[in-house]
Structure 1
Amino acid sequence: TLFPDTLTCTKASLTLSVNTNLAGGIYAWQGPGGFMSSEPNPVISAGGLYTLTLTDANGCPKTDAVFIATDTLSPVLSVSGGTISCVKSEIELTATSPTVGLLYNWYDENGLFATGAQVSVSAPGNYQVEAVAPNGCLATAVAEVAADLTPPDLSASGGALTCDHPTLALAAQSGTAGVLFLWQGPNGFESDSPNPIVSLAGQYVLKGTAPNGCVDSVTVEVTADFEAPHLQITAPEALSCARETVILDATNSDSGFDFVFFWETNDGHFSEPPTTLAPAVDQPGHYFLTIINTKNGCTASAGMEVEYDETGLAGATWSLRPPTCHGDRDGEIKIDAVTGGTPPYLYKMDGGDFGASPLFTGLSGGKHSLEIEDVNGCRLSTEIELPEGTIVLFSLTGDPADRVIQLGDSIAFHLEVNLAPDELDHIVWSPLPENCEACPDPVFKPLETTAYSLEIAAKNGCLVQTDFLVRVLRERPVFVPNAFSPNGDGVNDRLTVYGGPAVRQILRFVVFDRWGAVMFSKTGLPSGNEMAGWDGETGHQAAAPGIYSWMAEVEYIDGAKEVLSGDVMLIR
């Protein structure tokens, strides 16, 4: 009997075994690759079908066969590496294979350090895993473990807080992509902005976290310079008539290239442009100095009041008598009292000479300059407004406004005066109006272009005069119809002469037939009176229709006379 077996990676050769009760005999083995052997138990290293022919002593052969299997397939093996970082200090290496029953051995540079399909490592390097299959065959693979422990590239800058810049932006920079910033500073300050705005001095720490989790930090300093300039003004003496200017001394204040200053006043006056820290002033009031430190923009301000010593001339009171009329020079100013100074006093008006008299006469209305000097030579100048005298103002409006009328028409005026009735003395029109003598609403009816005058007088004697012209157009419109129909219908039944207000009367109106016979004649006709005209009859009989001639003598209100003639058609 032959026994089958299997060649493996751990059993590269085996001895063919036979179980027989035959002692002795001749063995003849045959197998793959031309294998032949006469040994009872030959050693083989190749799988396949082996045949044994055993011949006994009688020369009788007996044959049997056995199949030797081969199992030398190495397992399939894979393994992955990884990267150690600041947030991942260990990498788990896992070996995988579709072959079951494998035994795993892990090797580093120092040799075997672990078994099993999974292992954790914390150092970078190459790790080899060996897988041993049940058939003893081996497979190896290498897992590469890298290390990324580089901190981020980080830089930052702070700055200085000043009065000009009470806040500033911190600046964070990094050459590492994807860095996350975190600022921390005084009073629990935190910000994840790369450029946060801060307003407190102190140390600020910038932490930068790279995508690999590695962190670095830098510290910057934010300083503060809010120191105001030193400013000191020495109080000056008071102004007086004997001390016309004083110095505002601020020379103990900060000055130099790093400082600028300026003076101001609302109610005082600098005797010269205040370009130094010790300007001169010549009027009492409030003065202010501001100094600016150009390095930090901080300012300091202070004020100083300059007073006037009232023991000098301080003021005066006076009484006024205005001029009688506007433009007159009979007004008066009398100085009643002087405040301050030492008497006796001298007085001067409008640039004249000083004199002892406090009374000034012969003045017109308006502004007058007064100057007073005391015995010590102290002077006081002021301005006095003397009211104007009475002024008579009026307005004169007329209808028609252009003051042009036709002969026979009238024109009405309206007068307005700025004086109350009890202030008026008289109103005089010349020539006199038609309706009144001194009224404010006169009516004029001139027969020719006439110049009129108006005088208005106040009770104090102030008066105003004016002249105005009324133009009279001497047009004499006279009209006689060129046809009439005396048929008793009440329309155009009579022929008469029509004239405007310039016609006084029709001295004579005569109508002739075409042979010159008088058909109608009348004298002293009123202008435009139809009932006084011709009724189309002659000798109590109706005149025949036809063309008739007429003649009219007209007298105008200015005494002028005119003879007019024409034709008229009588229609029945």
Structure 2
Amino acid sequence: TSSLGCTGVAGSDIRQAEIQLAVQHQHPACAGFSDGSIEIIALGDDSPPPHQFLLNGQPAPGPVFDNLPEGDYKIVVTDAAGCADSLTLILQDPPPFEVDLGPDITLSVGSVQPLMAQASQPIAQYDWGGNVPLDCDSCATPVPQPDRSGIVVLEAYDQTGCMATDTLRIFFNTSIPLYVPNVFSPNGDGNNDFLMLSAGPGILSLETFQIFDRWGGQVYSQDNIPAGPEVAGWDGSYQGDRLSPGVYTWLVRVRLADGSSLVRSGNITLLR
């Protein structure tokens, strides 16, 4: 007697079930995909055709069942003699492929901050997009080159072709970390006697720092100043002579971390 009740008798000998199923199967390639398959590769040498196939109780046209998601599957095959055999197997999804670009970031003019993705599996291919310019669109660590706020989108593929995506919002700060006081008093009292500049992260150096009087004459100039919290240091003099109180104009050209240069200018009041 077979598992489904198929028997045969010849004298005192009992025949085994004439159908003996053998299958091969393929799990879904990626989590959530419906590309799994089951194929019957043997039915037994003595099983007479034609055969009827059921997959989870539903008729199937042949011995190949494809486009299957993960799940439990029961296959029943019945031959022309009415004998049947069945088996049950499970198709399983692989671990999900996930990618994470981290929290949103704020970038300033000239800042250099490569993007890095964390993934649940090794990334075989990077496809970067969005509306923020990058220095490359298929490398592992592109550098944003924003001129406005926007988003970066990554489509990442693992070695089996599974795709994961994530989006990063980049906020762009158009100001540069340069601070120039608007007043100083070089009177020798030890308090605020020098005009000191502050050049923060994102600025490599001050290519030039110049001071002009009200008639446009240059009264101070210094080049190639390393960036830092207190740099330059004008004492309010010109060629050794103390200048008169008044409003002077300053001009600074800064070298940014991305290699570009920007010019900023403003006024400073000299008090005595």
Normalising by the smaller structure, the TM-score range is 0.5 to 0.7
For 1:396 and 1:521, the matched residues in 2 are separated by 47
Secondary structure of the equivalent of 2:251? strand
**Matched residue, 2:172:** 472
Distance in 1, Cα, partners of 2:64 & 2:26: 11
* 1:318 alignment partner in structure 2: 23
Contact 1:412–1:443 (8 Å) recurs in 2: yes
- Distance in 2, matches of 1:313 and 1:417, equals 51
Q: Which residue of structure 1 aligns with residue 248 of structure 2?
A: 550
User: Taking structure 1 as reference, are residues 328 and 459 closer, same or farther at Cα in structure 2, changes over 3 Å only?
Assistant: same
d(CA) in 1 for partners of 2:58 and 2:167?
Answer: 41
Give SS of 1:353's match.
Answer: strand
Give the aligned residue type for 1:427.
Y
Structure 1, unaligned runs of 5 or more: 1-237, 243-308
Counterpart position of 2:149: 449
Q: Tell me which residue corresponds to 1:394.
A: 99
Match of 1:407 in 2: 109
Counterpart amino acid of 1:537? S
Distance 1:378 1:310, change over 3 A: same
Distance 2:162 2:149 in 1: 30
Indicate if the aligned counterparts of 1:332 and 1:360 stay in contact, CA closer than 8 A: yes
Post-superposition shift, 1:333? 0.9
Matches within 5 A, 1:323-472: 323-337=28-42, 343-344=48-49, 345-355=51-61, 357-377=62-82, 379=84, 382-388=87-93, 392-397=97-102, 401-411=103-113, 413-420=115-122, 424-429=123-128, 431-432=133-134, 438-439=139-140, 444=144, 446-472=146-172
Q: Distance in 2 between matches of 1:537 and 1:425?
A: 62
Pick closer, same or farther for the CA change 1:555–1:453 going to 2, 3 Å: farther
Other structure's SS at 2:271 match: strand
Match of 1:494 in 2: 194
Using the alignment, how far apart are the partners of 1:530 and 1:395 within structure 2?
39
State the superposition RMSD in angstroms: 4.7
Give 1:485 shift: 4.1
CA drift at 1:523: 7.1
How far did residue 495 of structure 1 move? 1.7
Give the direction of change, closer, same or farther, for the CA distance of 1:354–1:461 in structure 2 (3 Å limit): closer
Task: Report if aligned partners of 1:330, 1:363 keep a CA contact under 8 Å in 2.
Answer: yes
- Return the alpha-carbon distance in structure 1 between the equivalents of residues 147 and 78 of structure 2: 69
- Match status 1:522 vs 2:194: no
Q: Distance in 1 between matches of 2:229 and 2:187?
A: 16
Deviation at 1:358, TM superposition (A): 2.4
CA drift of 1:347 comes to: 1.6
Where does the alignment leave 5 or more consecutive residues of structure 2 unmatched? 7-13
Q: Is the 8 A contact 1:506 1:552 kept in 2?
A: no
| Matched residue, 2:9 | none
Report 1:200-219 matches (<5 A). Answer: none
Which amino acid is the alignment partner of residue 510 of structure 1?
I
In structure 1, what is the Cα distance between the partners aligned to 2:94 and 2:193?
Answer: 70
Shift of 1:316: 4.0
Q: For the Cα contact (< 8 Å) 1:365–1:386, is it kept in 2?
A: yes
Cα–Cα, structure 1 residues 326 and 519, in superposed 2: closer, same or farther, change >3 Å? closer
Offset, 1:473: 1.9
The alpha-carbon deviation at position 403 of structure 1 amounts to 1.5
Deviations along 1:90-126, whole A, 9 cap, x unmatched?
xxxxxxxxxxxxxxxxxxxxxxxxxxxxxxxxxxxxx
Q: Which residue of 2 aligns with 1:277?
A: none
Distance in structure 2 (CA, Å) of the matches to 1:437 and 1:358: 42
Once the 2 structures are TM-superposed, how far is the Cα of residue 310 of structure 1 from its aligned partner? 10
The alpha carbon displacement at 1:564 in A equals 1.8
Q: Which of structures 1 and 2 has the bigger CA Rg?
A: 1
- Alpha-carbon distance, 1:363 to partner: 3.2
- 1:449, 1:472 within 8 Å by CA — same for their partners in 2? yes
Alignment pair present for 1:241 and 2:5 = yes
TM-score calculated relative to the size of structure 1:
0.35
- State whether residues 209 and 253 of structure 2, in contact with CA within 8 Å, keep that contact through their aligned partners in structure 1: no
Shift of 1:320: 0.9
1:407/1:501 contact within 8 Å kept? no
Q: Measured at CA, do residues 486 and 437 of structure 1 come closer, stay the same or move farther in structure 2, by a change above 3 Å?
A: farther
Equivalent of 1:565, from 262, 267, 270? 267
* Structure-2 change in CA distance of 1:370 and 1:554 (3 Å): farther
Residue-by-residue CA offset, 1:17-66 (whole Å, 9 max, x unaligned): xxxxxxxxxxxxxxxxxxxxxxxxxxxxxxxxxxxxxxxxxxxxxxxxxx
Alignment of 1:15-414 (within 5 A): 241=5, 316-337=21-42, 343-344=48-49, 345-355=51-61, 357-377=62-82, 379=84, 382-388=87-93, 392-397=97-102, 401-411=103-113, 413-414=115-116
Summarize deviations over 1:221-275 as a string: whole Å, max 9, x none: xxxxxxxxxxxxxxxxx99637xxxxxxxxxxxxxxxxxxxxxxxxxxxxxxxxx
Matched-pair contact (CA < 8 Å) for 1:486–1:536: no
Q: Report which structure shows greater RCO (CA 8 Å, sep ≥6).
A: 2
Q: Is the 8 A contact 1:494 1:531 kept in 2?
A: no
CA distance in 1, matches of 2:197, 2:47: 96
Which of 235, 255, 258 is the aligned partner of 1:535? 235
The alignment of Structure 1 onto Structure 2 pairs a total of residues equal to 255
